[in-house]
Each structure stands twice: as C-alpha cells, then as structure tokens.
Amino acid sequence: MPKRQTLSNRLGYYDAAAREYVITRPDTPTPWINYLGAGGYGGIISNTAGGFSFDRDPRNRRVMRYRYNALPLDQPGRYVYLRDQTTGEFWSPTWQPVVARQLDAYECRHGAGYTRITSAYRGIKATLLYFVPLNDSADCAPCELWIMRVKNNSRRPRRLRSFTYAEFCFWDALNDQNNLDWAQHIVHTRFEQDTLLTTTQFRPTTTFFASNVRVTGFDSDRETFVGAYRDLANPTVVETGKPRNTQAARGNNIGSLCHTFTLKPGQEKEIVFILGVTDEPSQIAPTRARYQKSNQVQAAFADLRADWDRYLGSLTVTTPDADTNAMLNVWNPIQCRTTLYWSRFVSAYETGVGRGMGTRDSAQDALATVQSAPERARENLAMLWRLQFNDGHTWHQVFPLTGEGGPGLAAEYPTDPQWFCDDHLWLVIGTLAYVRETGDFAFLDQRIAYADGADDSIERHLVRAIEFTRAHRGPHGLPRAGFSDWDDTLNLDHGSGKAESVWCAMQFCRALLDLAELSDHLGKIGEAETYRALKNEMTEIVNRVAWDGAWYTRAFDDAGLPVGVASECEHQINLLPQAWSVIGEVADAARAHQAMASLHTRLNTPFGIALMDPPYTRGNERVRGTATYPPGAKENGGIFCHANTWAMIAAAQLGLGDLAYQYYRQILPLARQDSEQYAVEPYVYPQNICGPTHPDFGHARNAWLTGTAAWTYVAATQWILGIRATFNGLHIAPCIPQTWDGFRATRQFRGATYDIRVSNPDHLCAGVRAIQVDGNAISGTVVPLFTDGATHRVDVRMGQ
C-alpha cells in the first residue's frame, strides 16, 4: 500500500525492515544523536559516538563528560582507537575523534535503544554496537555495553592494538565544571582485577570500566594519555602505541583499556566493554560476570529489542504515506518514550544540570505514552501531582532523584509571579488521558501529598487545579498569566497581577470539558453540570473580550492592553488561541473557521506554521522573553513545532483533512530533503525551525526532547487517523487527505487488539458511514470495549 516515499536524503535513509535510521556519512551538519537506556542508566550517542552517560539524574549522577560548546564539535564520546602495530597508523572506527582519516566505508544505524557504527579502513572492518541492557538483577550495577567486532578483510595477517577512551565526570556535573580544584583533587582511579575504578574517598560511588578479555595495559590519567597541548585526534599513547598504566591520583580521569590481537585474513575478534556506576562496589564483579560471554551479551540485546517491540506494538499503521508509517510506527514513538523518560532535562542542547523534569512538559509527554507505557506514565503523573500546592498551582519543574521542585525560569525574576498558569491544567488533561486509555479509575483515588503538606486523592488534586485558575483571574475574568503560560517567553505580568492569558482560558475550557466527560461517565451529573457551566462562562468571556475581528487575541498585558491583535505593529496574530479556540471548543463554527483561515494566511509557510507575526525587532520590556530572540527565532515568530501540532488537531476537528495532513507533512522530519539546511536529525522532531523572517529560514534546532513528539503523535493517530480512547470504547473518526483510499491500523486497547481497516471509497476527508465489528454493524463511531484479550476486526467505511 505505501505509495508516497521519500525516506532518504544525501546523508542517510530510513531502513523500514530493520526499523533503523541509517546515516551514510559521518560529517552530518550537526551530531545526529540517539538515546540509550530506559530512563535509568543511559545517555546520548551521536552518529560518530560522541556523547555521554549518566545514571537516572544527569546533574547528580553524571558518568561521562561532554563539552557542549567546544571545538571540535561533539566530543568526547565512547571512543575506540585502532592501531596497526606494523605501520603505526591509527584511526577510529567511529570516525571521530580522528577525523583526518578518511574511512573507506562508514555507516551508523540508530535503532530503538541502540546504535551500531560500522566502518572499514585499510582492510579492517570494525563494528561497534552500543546499548544499555535492561537491568533486572539486584546483584548487578546499571551499565552500558560497547561490543566491538574487528575483522581482517585484507590478505595478510594484521597485528592490531585497540585503545578505548571514555572521559569521566565527577558525579555532580555542575561542580565538575564549577569547582575545578575540588573536583579534580577528589576523583581518582585505581586498576584492580582488570577493571578501572574511579571514585572518591568519601562516597562509595564508583564508575567502573572493564572488558571481557585480559587487557594489555590501561590508562586513567587524561593528560598522560593525550599529552600536553595535544587533543583526542592524536593522543600520545595511541600514537606511540604504548599504554602507560596510569592510575590517576587526581585530575581528569578517563577509561582507556588497551588490547592487542592478531587477525589472520578473514578472522574476527570481539571484545565487550562494560561501563557502569554503582554505590555498591560489590556489584561490579557480578556485573562483569554477567556480560563475560558473547551469548550473554546477545541475550541482553535480544531482551532490549523485545522490550521495544512490546512498546512499539501498541499501535501500528499502514497508510499510503511511507514517511508517515515510518514516523508513526517507529521513530515518533521512540521519541515519545524518550521524552517520557527525560522530559526536557538532558540532550545535546540541554546540559542536564539546570532544568530537571518540566511539570507541563512531562504531563504532555504522558499523552502519547499512556497507551504504550502506561505504568511509567502513571508513575510520572503521580510524581508531578506531588508538586502541587494546596492552593492548586504546581512547581514548574522537579529533579526526579531528589524530588526537589522549583519555579524554573521564574526564579530569575523573583518579584514576578513564581507560578505558571498552565502547569496544573496540563496535569488535569494528562491524568484524564491516562484514565481514558487504561480504565484505571483507581488512580483517581490514590492519595498524594501536596508540596506544602497534607495529602489528598488525585481526584481532589484535579479539583484544586481548577480552583486555582478560578481564583486567579484578571480584570476581564480570564486566567491570570502568572510568570507565563505555555509560552515561557511571554512574560506579561510584572507585578500588577493583571496580565491575562486568553490561550490559558481555552486550555481551562478543555480541562473542564474533560472533567465533565469523566463526571458523566462516573454518573456524577451535578459535577458534570458545574464543569460545563464554568466552561460556558469562560467561553462567553473569551468571545466577548478576545475576538479581534478575524482572529482571537493572544493575551492582555499588565495594563490590560491586548497582545496579538491587528492594531499592534508587532505580534498581531499568534497561532495558539486560533488552534485552541477549536480544541477548547470556545469558538462557534464561523469564528473557528475564520480564526483558522487567518492563521493559515498569516502564519503558514512551507516549513511549518510560525508561532506569531510580525516578530519583535528589538528588546521589549512589555513581553520580555519573546523579544530576546531575533525575529523568526523560537517563540519570536519561529516555527515552534510543538504548537504546529495544535493547528493539525484543530484542522482535523473542523473536518479539514487535507489541511491537517498538510500541516502534518510540513514538519515531518523524514520528508525534509534539504538535510544541510534542515541540519538536525531527520528521524525525530525538533523543537523549532527558523521562521520566514529569519535569515536561516528552514534551519531546525533542538531535536529530540520536545513536546512536539507527544503532540504530533496525538495529532496523527487520534485526530488524522482518528483513533481515540474514550472511557467507554475506542472512538474512530478519521480525518484524512481526500486522496487516501484508506488505511489500516492495529491498536491495543484495554487488553484487546483492534484490527482496524478504514476504506474511503468516495475520497472524502471526514465522515463515517458504517462500522462493522467482527462483521456486525454497530451504531455510532465508538467501538465497544472487549475484555476477552482477543483480536477484533473493525471495518470502517467512510462516507456522508
């Protein structure tokens, strides 16, 4: 069935059979990275093995260093040098850090939770497979494995030596950079039983690095290994081929293990490297023993793949668009699981020391993973509810290891409000999505303490969230903005307490409608009526005070003046309230279509929808953050991909299937052919793309950790394909491009499997004429729940 197909560009392609993104040149415009690990021990790895590791918390338990802004780009990493002992020539099979060597072949395959880099140089083929095994044993420490295979494809025997390089960080990543004298005095490494052990004298925490074969030598002192005023491209030890067996008493500690082997023509050698961290050094020997043999390592890799298969199996689709299939079946859900684990905490852009997990971010990330990782989504939501105060607002961020919450960015302006008007409302929306998907109503009874004491059921926490917004309204009756709403940079309240967010009013309406739906389902008719009445009251206010003639106003400032209106010179129109007037069911049909038409005319571009227009051209105290960016960047008129997804949903909700799909494809990373200009990874969504007013229009940044991941998945699967969980069953109401003949989807829901086949014989965008379940017609578009765990065939015929 797949017809439309790009899937490749000058630097790589998507391998659908292997479910891997294959990078065919090492010199990508930016490092194209992947994530390792399952939310515990893990890290990032680029297509040339740059990157770093940490255990659960990248600020408090960092394992490896990474130099974010430094040159050469994307160093250090998980490196191996190979040295031909006959000629003295050396290279790195991952290209970096010996980039002067032109490899004869190179390929990087990023898969779900692993990366495999294969290359060839002068007859030696080398493959490095990196992954973090699932750690299910209390006796073992969390660790990562590097599996190196080296094969002699030349016609003569080859004497080779390998040297690893991993640069260790003091576990407190902030102090590793701030307090250099202390950090570099206290960390030291010793070599025992073929293992490098990096630790301090005051805590048992130990980073260990070992291999499954005897070493020829080792080094742990960076300066000795590299040599003064040299760099990783030509370390002294590799150049001379002689490990110095340094046990660093202090300084910059590294893990370099040296192995020597001779390969006959056609012969292959495998070495497994084990890098991990533990507070219980007694775990190190069992961990090494566990990955001693090749078959043990292969079994661990198979377990990891099986875990990902389970996760990816919750929904699979076959549409006429191969790019869409690749994204929805593999890379978009991989990205969603990564954001579930890491929110916006640690990436190639986020250093993992400042932000922790974002409350609003993690609540939104749950939206796409409630079906595929419900336990983790529930755990995250419970963690977030612990950040709520008795008055109903929440901390803006949390460090998961310590549970420490904080106000995030707002701390920079202590006299401004220290709360954000949307955080707590996302928690309502995320929690109800979880319950709708899982039917786990008991979650609502779970008791959780407020950040400032006393505990309550989650159901009561939800009510407090609503109460906070009701109690914090401005002069027009709209929600006060607080430090900001979803847009961190729109900082309108400078102490008056009067700034208001129109968008947040619409988000509030969505939360109220979701609560009303829950109350209906639970038979709490009075509550449902109350929620609907509150929603109607807010809808009336928005339509009375925030309709600007052809679109909705974005906000009101400290002085009660509107932002995002035609009468302004800058920031006349903003994407958010147009899309959310539909999502929050605030606009009537005429205004909804008008608002979306204005959005399209004023903000749409071939690379996505700009967040607002015209951007600010100079600093502006009225809005603060937004105007710190140059025109066309990020929130100042850039293409903020996260927000594009709401236009997709709104278009689908209006039945505009062609438009929804156009918005979807505009930012579909695999569909971008201009990889040099686009620059970032083509297999995951970036947070932002430079907008039409920016000199680098079309250039993307900040891939991986973005709300775009979860929301695009929601937009595509729930609103374009139209398969949505409800409390009572699976709602199917596609809104697709007219050109599609239909599509297929296999969806797991509440333990059963729904084999859904949608046909579109009249080539419509929307409308369901008939649904048959296991051959029997049903009325309406909600396919009932099945408790039998079986597969049920669902035939959907679109039509008027």
Give the footprint of ligand NOJ on this chain (CB under 6 A). Answer: 344, 358, 360-361, 486-489, 635
Length of the chain equals 800
Instruction: Kindly list the distances between the CA atom of residue 453 and the CA atoms of 391, 400, 421, 496, 504, in Å, as whole numbers in the listed order.
Output: 11, 19, 21, 29, 27
CB of 148 to ligand NOJ, least distance (A): 37
| Residue 131: strand, helix, or coil | strand
| CA-atom Rg of the chain in angstroms | 27
Cis peptide before 407 (omega within 30 of 0): no
CB nearer ligand NOJ, residue 272 or residue 603: 603
Q: Whole-angstrom Cα distance, residue 224 to residue 209?
A: 18
CB of 513 to ligand NOJ, least distance (A): 21
Burial of 228 (0-12, 13-18, 19+ CB in 10 A): exposed
Name the residue number minimizing CB distance to ligand NOJ.
488
Q: Whole-angstrom Cα distance, residue 335 to residue 428?
A: 23
CB nearer ligand NOJ, residue 57 or residue 487: 487
CB of 489 to ligand NOJ, least distance (A): 6
Q: Whole-angstrom Cα distance, residue 593 to residue 380?
A: 37
CB of 463 to ligand NOJ, least distance (A): 24
CB nearer ligand NOJ, residue 119 or residue 343: 343
Q: Whole-angstrom Cα distance, residue 689 to residue 679?
A: 10
CB of 678 to ligand NOJ, least distance (A): 20
727 Cβ neighbours under 8 A, 6+ residues apart: 435, 436, 439, 517, 518, 521
Q: Whole-angstrom Cα distance, residue 185 to residue 174?
A: 16
Nearest to 691 by CA among 618, 612, 619: 612
Tokens 């749950």 found at: 366
Our CA angle for 170, 211, 209, nearest 5°, is 5
Torsions phi, psi for 46 (to 5 deg): -95, 180
CB of 500 to ligand NOJ, least distance (A): 18
CB nearer ligand NOJ, residue 487 or residue 570: 487
Residues of 672-696 as b/e, b for ≥16 C-beta within 10 angstroms? Answer: beebeebbbbbbbbbbbbbbbbbee
CB of 635 to ligand NOJ, least distance (A): 5
CB nearer ligand NOJ, residue 640 or residue 749: 640
CB of 163 to ligand NOJ, least distance (A): 39
Query: Taking the alpha carbons of 58, 59, 65, 67 in that order, is the dihedral positive or negative?
Result: positive
Beta strands in 539-620 (DSSP E): 555-556, 562-563, 573-574, 604-605, 608-609, 612-613
CB nearer ligand NOJ, residue 107 or residue 488: 488
CB nearer ligand NOJ, residue 208 or residue 342: 342
Tokens at 687, concatenated: 């947070």
CB of 23 to ligand NOJ, least distance (A): 27
Query: Taking the alpha carbons of 756, 760, 766, 767 in that order, is the dihedral positive or negative?
Result: negative
CB of 370 to ligand NOJ, least distance (A): 19
Show which residues are catalytic: 488
Tokens at 286, concatenated: 């069992």
Centre a 10 Å sphere on the Cβ of residue 384 and count the other Cβ atoms it contains: 29
CB nearer ligand NOJ, residue 235 or residue 407: 407
CB of 487 to ligand NOJ, least distance (A): 5
Burial of 414 (0-12, 13-18, 19+ CB in 10 A): exposed
> What secondary structure does DSSP assign to 694-747, as a single string?
STTTT-EEEESSSHHHHHHHHIIIIIIS-EEE-SSEEEE--B--TT--EEEEEE
- As beta bridge partners, residue 319 has none
| SS3 per-residue string spanning 77-89 | ECEEEEEECCCCC
CB nearer ligand NOJ, residue 513 or residue 611: 611
Contact between residue 616 and residue 570 where contact means Cβ atoms under 8 Å apart: yes
Q: Whole-angstrom Cα distance, residue 102 to residue 678?
A: 25
